[in-house]
Amino acid sequence: QVTLKESGPGILQPSQTLSLTCTFSGFSLSTYGMGVGWIRQPSGKGLEWLANIWWDDDKYYNPSLKNRLTISKDTSNNQAFLKITNVDTADTATYYCAVTTRVSFDYWGQGVMVTVSS
Amino acid sequence: DIQMTQSPASLSASLGETVTIQCRASEDIYSGLAWYQQKPGKSPQLLIYGASSLQDGVPSRFSGSGSGTQYSLKISSMQTEDEGVYFCQQGLKYPLTFGSGTKLEIK
């Protein structure tokens, strides 16, 4: 059974760095073809893909966030991470991690709400 | 970036009715399309991948079709539990992009 759970700071101030952790079970990020992605959703709005990391450490980022994103993984502890630098109120959203093996996100975590406020 | 245009933005359907949601890509995505259902306060769940393959555990009343730039999701007999927001997503090219969503309600 695949499960994922996101964790984060809850609230942070503008210009700070947001650090998110995805802890998963039921699969390994060292297995060929496995990947984890991060997606966010402002309240009442649509979904925005942020980044993917693959079993071979290949990484892809959404260029709309310029160079603010860093994705990484710890395969021995079944975790993936996302950092977003220099946050502002537009980064307020629910952040999801999800497992991917192909073009889709097969299983999603429950999401973690992040609020950026001064 | 590949733009995904979903229609309609919202619709209401009666129990047992057939529902169709459309998704159009700004360029050919070669069936690299997924559909998700999101219920209030919950995370999205994968329904269809590869344009027409049913994810394990998803009821057979859901089906996907299409090719090129035009895709559709069909619910063959609307049930109460099918209320929610439906999103399409292209997985052909980075950046991965989602449609804006279709809100489906019971009439």
Question: pLDDT-based confidence at A102, cuts 50/70/90?
Answer: confident
Q: Which residues of chain B neighbour A104 with C-beta distances below 8 Å?
A: 34, 46, 49-50, 89, 91
Mean per-residue pLDDT, A91-117: 96
Read off the tokens for A63. Answer: 């260029």
- Number of Cβ within a 10 Å radius of residue A89: 10
What is the per-residue pLDDT across A53-72, written as a single tens digit (0 to 9) for each?
Answer: 999 999 999 999 979 999 99
- Which residue type sits at A116? V
What is the distance between the alpha carbons of residues B20 and B98, in angstroms, rounded to a whole number? 18
A52:B96 CB<8 A? yes
Cis preceding-peptide flag for B8 (omega within 30 of 0): yes
Residue of B nearest to A44 (CA): B40
For A27-48, the pLDDT digits (tens) are: 999 999 999 999 999 999 999 9
For A46, which of B42, B45, B98 is closest by C-beta distance? B98
